[in-house]
A and B are shown apart, each in its own frame.
Chain A
Amino acid sequence: MMTLDQQKDIAFRVREHCIRMATRGGCFIGASLSCADVLVYLYTNYLTITPDNLSDPNRDYLFLSKGHDVPALYGTLAELGFIDRERLSNHLLTTDDIYWHPNRNIPGVEFYSGSLGHLLSVAIGVAFDCKLRGTANKIVVILGDGELNEGSIWEGLLVAQAHKLDNLIIVVDRNEFQANMRTEELIPLEPLSEKFRVFGCIVREVDGHNFEDLHDSFSGITIGNGRPNVVIAHTIRGKGTPSIEARADRWFANFTADEITQLLAELHGGRTAELTSETLIVR
């Protein structure tokens, strides 16, 4: 367990890593910054996953289904000793496997992802096996809210409910944006918690940037009641750097070295960055 201050310190450094990866080819910075706190909380204070127990079948699992936020995962893994921090500077180099979506060769990454709507079903398979073997693992899968457009998510919920997978904890990074626009302007999701409830899940809503709130919510989850769990984490795309917060056009960004310096200064409480790099819409 880590204290509140320790968690905040780690999350701050994870954000620095994410910003540093948003140049020389760029990364999906907006989506990464929105789920940084959730990832840090889960790895430091909720899940039993350490650099030393990755081959232990009784450990917990974290599947990152919205794979484009992998800079936040790599940042977290680096801060917690799964990989060397220096390795993050290999981003996009052909000498390593650190690129725009998760690669299983990186210690701590459970599975490849990037094609949306896949890892809920993979997590269901793992959760099912843990039930079969009678082990107490917690299986967390992180979904994007835009990812909920995919039909496979709703198939997965039906199956999870049918098989009473209460060891499954679905976390939705509810930053209210998908690639190009606000979720509610394209394919409205609300009332989202009601949707999950009628699919048989126990639903909690939480401020995804508040570690105390996250702890209250996750520690309230009890396994054994026969229903899958959903935590809707309300977050802000680009959280930590106001100049890119809650913006549709800063999902993926490839900034200049000077812009990165400005963004890091902004993260540290300095003045607002002046960003002129072209808006890139990949998806």
Chain B
Amino acid sequence: MNYETLLLDLIERDERYIVLTAENRAAIRNLPAKIGNRFIDVGIAEQTMIGAAAGLALRGRIPITHALAAFLTMRAFEFIRTDIGISGLPVKLVGGVAGFLSEANGPTHQAIEDVSIMRGIPPMGVFCPADEEDMLIGLEQILESPQPFYIRYNNLPPAVTHSRDFAIGEAELISEGRDVCILVYGTLLREAVSAASILAEHGISTRILNMRTLKPIDSDAILGSVNWCELTVTLEDHFLIGGLYSIVAELLLKHKITADVLPIALENRWFKPALLQDVLEYEGFTGRAIAMKIIHELQK
């Protein structure tokens, strides 16, 4: 089972599903031959794709739209907000190479504000799977949900063996610990796990929560972790503004809680374009670099 076969299965079972792309075929290159005219490639025209998806949704379809995350969420932003958001149409937005996954493409292709702007649209949900396995576990519920959803597509090999228990708005507990809690989503779960094993060598126990959906967010899991652990870390390949750190800050303020929270995110600049491992090294997001930041914070 991969993304494409899961989609094919859904499409064959339910005539409402229809696949659109703005000439981004990396994840769906075999679908045209199999689903015929339920595959619409509009060419490099993201705004038209979103407008058309709204029209299809008005006729009862559930459009699953594809483009690189930067162009999908930003080129077509106002179409998403206005044509999908205001009416709350069940259009699904699948954004490729978000966060560090754009590797050496450069700032034009870096979607590192996508969570911020998508969650700002009232009915829009946000799903940020850690890897392909995590994505496939949650995808069916996300696609079947009556609300519009932004999916931060991720086809990396599994970082861990994931729990099959998936519910929208529930985080996945990856490891239990009391000294540090790392709240993480997407590609960086793998680095969080690696950081935890380094921290363990220093006698530091780490709880890791894979957030899965950032909207709705698992408030109970976050509040519980903040109470339970000495230090809370938010870890994300996203700008500091508007992502998980902001979500946690909003939540703690709402509940009148203060806590030690260490944000690890991209602060006010685009990241160095390079192959993924080189990006992680350069930007200080490897498991080792994360562990060192946490140790330094605990020693303060």
Binding site for B on A (CB under 8 A): 25, 67, 92-94, 97, 99-103, 112-117, 146-147, 149-151, 178-180, 186-187, 281-283
CB distance from B31 to the nearest CB of A (A): 12
In the complex where A100-B106, A283-B26 touch, is A115 in contact with B71 (Cβ < 8 A)? yes
- A102: shortest Cβ distance to chain B, in Å? 8
Partner of B104, one of A99, A102, A151: A99
Contacts of B48 in A (CB 8 A): 151
Known interface pairs A100-B104, A100-B106. Does A115 touch B70 (Cβ–Cβ under 8 Å)?
yes
Distance in Å from the Cβ of A18 to the closest Cβ of chain B?
16
CB distance from B281 to the nearest CB of A (A): 8
B21-50 interface with A by 8 A CB criterion: 23-26, 29, 41-45, 47-48
Contact residues of B between 247 and 300, Cβ < 8 Å to A: 272-275, 278-279, 281-282
Complex contacts, A114 vs chain B, CB 8 Å: 105-106, 108-109
Within the complex, the shortest CB–CB distance from A277 to chain B, in Å, comes to: 16
Query: Please, which residues of chain A bring their CB within 8 A of the CB of B164?
Result: none
Q: Which chain B residues border A117 with CB–CB below 8 Å?
A: 44
Q: Closest Cβ of chain A: how far from B96's Cβ, in Å?
A: 9
Note all chain A residues with C-beta closer than 8 A to B70.
Answer: 115
Q: Are B25's CB and A99's CB within 8 A?
A: no
Interface of A is mostly: loop
Bound Cα distance from A282 to B102, whole angstroms: 10
Q: Which are the 4 A-B pairs with shortest beta-carbon distances?
A: A114-B108, A187-B43, A149-B43, A99-B273
Smallest CB–CB gap between A9 and chain B, Å?
Answer: 30
In the complex, what residues of A have CB within 8 A of residue B272's CB?
94
Select A151's contact among B25, B41, B45, beta carbons within 8 Å: B45
Given A93-B274, A116-B44, A151-B47, are A180 and B25 also a contact pair (CB < 8 Å)? yes
Nearest-neighbour CB distance to chain A for B244, whole angstroms, equals 25
Contacts across chains A and B counted by CB atoms under 8 Å: 90
Residues in B lying within 8 Å of A, measured CB to CB? 23-26, 29, 41-45, 47-48, 68, 70-71, 75, 97, 103-109, 272-275, 278-279, 281-282
Query: Judging by beta carbons under 8 Å apart, are A283 and B23 in contact?
Result: yes
| CA A117 to CA B43, docked complex, whole Å | 13
Give A125 to B47 CA distance when docked, in angstroms.
23
Residue among A99, A150, A283 with the highest chain B CB neighbour number at 10 A: A283
Contacts of B109 in A (CB 8 A): 101, 114-115
A127 to chain B, nearest CB (A): 22
Sample of 4 more A-B contacts, CB < 8 Å, known A94-B274, A149-B45, A283-B68: A94-B272, A115-B70, A151-B47, A281-B26
Residue among A94, A147, A281 with most chain B CB within 10 A: A94
| Cross-interface CB contact of B26 among A67, A100, A115, A282, cutoff 8 Å | A282
Asked whether B274 lies within 8 Å of A99 as measured between CB atoms, the reply is: yes
Interface pair B273/A178, CB less than 8 Å apart: no
Which residues of the partner chain B approach A100 to less than 8 Å between Cβ atoms? 104-106, 273
Which residues of chain A have C-beta atoms less than 8 A from B106's C-beta? 99-103, 112, 114
CB-based nearest A residue for B75: A115
Expressed in whole angstroms, the minimum distance between the Cβ of A221 and any Cβ of chain B is 28
Task: Assess the A94–B44 pair: CB atoms within 8 A.
Answer: no
Which residue of B is nearest A68, CB measured? B105
The answer to whether A113 and B108 touch across the interface, beta carbons within 8 angstroms, is yes
Q: Which residues of A contact B273 (CB under 8 A)?
A: 92, 97, 99-101, 103
A-B contact pairs, 30 of them (CB 8 A): A25-B104, A25-B275, A67-B108, A92-B273, A92-B275, A92-B278, A93-B274, A94-B272, A94-B279, A94-B281, A97-B273, A99-B105, A99-B273, A99-B274, A100-B105, A101-B106, A101-B108, A101-B109, A101-B273, A102-B106, A112-B106, A116-B44, A117-B44, A178-B44, A179-B23, A187-B42, A281-B25, A281-B29, A282-B97, A283-B23
On chain A, the residues within 8 Å of B23 by CB distance are 146, 149, 178-180, 186, 283
Distance in angstroms between the alpha carbons of A222 and B16 in the assembled complex:
55
In the assembled complex, how far is the CB of residue B260 from the closest CB belonging to chain A, in whole angstroms? 31
Of the listed residues A101, A113, A115, the one surrounded by the most CB atoms of chain B closer than 10 A to its CB is A115
